Structure 1
């Protein structure tokens, strides 16, 4: 039986960091820890911040943290960074822009490396969210690597997704390519002190106007700036809260979370199954021999895969 580090339930951030490390590094006790935490989850509200690299996501998240703390609420931040090609660690793990919160007991920032995962998120991001949720954070913010064709996984974790765009970066065109119009619950036109901010906001609003009439929630488009007084930050958090209230009033919030739980269960089944198969593949024996025959085209992949499934099921009996 895996025991949680002493101090986790009393709010010690060092204990929180230890549990996250156990989960992220997929230690043997990980599954047992997550089982223990599960009944204590479901209270945090999860935000996803995504957008092109250089859009100012980290600075914007930093400003949102400051506004949340002004309201005396706690926040956990998962900053998903590109992996170092040499160590596999988070390439931008220093999180320089969020250093002002380092001594704040109401803020916990964790950098995670993608470790090769597509979708803009690390594979264990969902599990780290659960740890922070059980710890008692009011808000959990996930900042993704950046938006691209395959980096839309944030919509399957976050309750509200904020897409950050910047003027002069061609974001309005790129957003259509990446499918951002479908995942955004709120648009933030960041660095709005730069030329072209009004034009970009107009373009995004025009694209939203072209969406089908059946769309019930129309994402607001807000202009923000993080320098000096932090323009539009309070309004951005207000728009997020409005979206949260909308989801709860319409019953979408509970429905989304139930569907997410079902999908997560299937993901775990898939992962556990892959682990069983991988265990067979990595060991000398019939599976490895069969794969060698596939490689030499003596056996086709479809026949081989069916045979491997039969063997794994037989071994489980």
Structure 2
């Protein structure tokens, strides 16, 4: 895997694409690869872009890619699409909208299917982002499917979360109710050429004072138009300002440490669920379930016994 890691570090697009495919498909080689590239990660600036379907997230990211490339930066995009009910793969809408960057060697765009994952974030997204990070990508955009209560998990992945709203959609009230207001570091009013911009800005300002009135960072509100190309420079400046705030305040290290701790717990929980699922196919376990149904054993007793078996091993020793 060292050779693979070196090829990824050098920006080999075929190896990057293959590595992400391994991650998506749960290939048995992915853990060794992720371990090999891990020392080279932690340098990319990770920007989460969320908002309701049709808010123009992909179009804004497309404009930002153009701006960052003019400044000489490399860019990665992980666009989490709804999974196709027919193929099980991503519906690839975001890559269609970003085709003008397809031949740029310094831009890597990948659509990933949610595959039923809560929050619209594919389970493999964190690891795919890590591959792009190891490849030396300067900025990685993580675009989510849409807004909902479980979409809050984007804050556990990105350094900065940008929430995209549009005039006349009623999004501001909905995201406030869902708790997204507390997680966003920056608000973008897209399609600013439409009527209702002033009212939406006023609504967001009022809700921000309720949600974040006592915090050091007050999220800015940027008016932009991906159609007209307006406000893109300001959007990138505000993203940069938040990145500087994180570093100077110490929140950069705190957030990243928190995310890593959370990721270790998630990996452990996933492995425990898999091992439990294997135990639950054991004929002895099925007999215990029958005993629970016949009231011969209590549910908590059976659960405790099988957890002891899992952690202590069949012979009574630590597994």
Q: Does 1:302 align with 2:300?
A: yes
Tell me what 1:170 maps to: 170
Q: Does 1:251 align with 2:250?
A: yes
- 5 Å-filtered alignment, 1:112-261, equals 112-211=112-211, 213-228=213-228, 230-261=229-260
- 5 Å-filtered alignment, 1:252-291, equals 252-281=251-280, 283-291=281-289
Q: Take 1:291 and 1:104, find their aligned partners in 2: how far apart are those partners?
A: 58
Q: Take 2:45 and 2:292, find their aligned partners in 1: how far apart are those partners?
A: 48
Structure ranking higher in helix proportion: 2
For the aligned residues, what is the CA RMSD? 1.9
SS at match of 2:98: helix
Give the superposition deviation at 1:92. 3.4
Give the superposition deviation at 1:3. 5.7
- 5 Å-filtered alignment, 1:104-115, equals 104-115=104-115
Deviation per residue, 1:133-153 (Å, 9 max, x gap): 111100110000000122211
Give the superposition deviation at 1:175. 1.5
Give the superposition deviation at 1:261. 1.2
Q: Take 1:292 and 1:13, find their aligned partners in 2: how far apart are those partners?
A: 53
Q: Take 1:123 and 1:295, find their aligned partners in 2: how far apart are those partners?
A: 35
Unaligned runs of 5+ in 1: none
Q: Take 1:183 and 1:96, find their aligned partners in 2: how far apart are those partners?
A: 29
Q: Take 1:122 and 1:294, find their aligned partners in 2: how far apart are those partners?
A: 36
Give the superposition deviation at 1:93. 4.9
Unaligned runs of 5+ in 2: none
Tell me what 2:10 maps to: 10
How many residues align? The count is 315
Give the superposition deviation at 1:112. 0.5
TM-score (norm 2): 0.93
- 5 Å-filtered alignment, 1:21-170, equals 21-93=21-93, 95-170=95-170
